[in-house]
């Protein structure tokens, strides 16, 4: 399921996530780069705000090196996925966390930012699914990366090896 949002937009309650332990008031965030546990942006923007962190993947997307930070771009290539974490923010910290992440990811109401926030389905390590906010490459960035890919074949920013056009298919 995909519910595209231009940022900044307040999060809406989930329509019925697949897992029973879902927070009915706010969606978790799927993070895949510097916001993952141990990443420098996690320390600044999420540390102390997390109620739960678990491994997850975003199917149907490719991970590209920005360079220096990652961008997830929708990609229907079979088996393509982005590796990350599903982060549930603790009660009372959701609004500030959402505002901080939208600012960090340069989400703009007119959709011209570096990233757009979309409501997508991710798969947890246990095989379940959850709806989560995911920051994807904005339209201009996605077009640039499709034209000049900087693909990370593993889909994992933490354990990345970049592959660009010079490396072949």
- Chain segment 83-113, per-residue pLDDT in tens: 999 999 998 999 999 999 999 999 988 888 9
Tokens of 84: 């990350």
Q: Which residues contact 155 (CB under 8 A, 6 or more apart)?
A: 57, 61, 62, 63, 80, 81, 82, 83
Domain residue extents for the chain: 3-56+84-142
CB 168 within 8 A of CB 86: no
How much of the chain, in percent, has pLDDT values that exceed 90? 67
If one looks up domain 3-56+84-142 in CATH, what number appears?
3.10.490
Cα–Cα distances (Å) from 5 to 27, 63, 119, 122, in that order, read 13, 20, 8, 17
Q: End-to-end CA distance of the chain, in Å?
A: 30
When pLDDT is cut at 50, 70 and 90, the band that residue 43 belongs to is confident
Average pLDDT, the chain: 84
- Chain segment 50-83, per-residue pLDDT in tens: 999 999 999 999 999 998 899 999 999 999 999 9
């Amino acid at each position: 399921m995909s519910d595209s949002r231009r940022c900044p937009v307040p999060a809406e309650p989930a329509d019925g996530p697949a897992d029973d332990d879902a927070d009915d008031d706010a969606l978790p965030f799927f993070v895949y780069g510097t916001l993952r546990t141990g990443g420098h942006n996690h320390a600044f923007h999420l540390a102390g705000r997390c109620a739960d962190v678990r491994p997850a993947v975003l199917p149907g997307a490719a991970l590209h090196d920005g360079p220096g930070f990652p961008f997830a771009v929708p990609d229907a290539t079979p088996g393509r996925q982005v590796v990350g974490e599903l982060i549930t923010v603790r009660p009372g910290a959701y609004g500030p966390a959402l505002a901080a992440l939208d600012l960090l990811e340069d989400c703009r109401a007119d959709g011209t930012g570096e990233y757009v926030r979309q409501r997508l389905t991710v798969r947890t390590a246990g095989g379940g699914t959850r709806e989560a906010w995911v920051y994807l490459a904005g339209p201009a960035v996605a077009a640039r990366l499709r034209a000049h890919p900087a693909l990370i074949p593993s889909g994992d920013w933490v354990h990345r090896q970049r592959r660009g056009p010079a490396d072949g298919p």
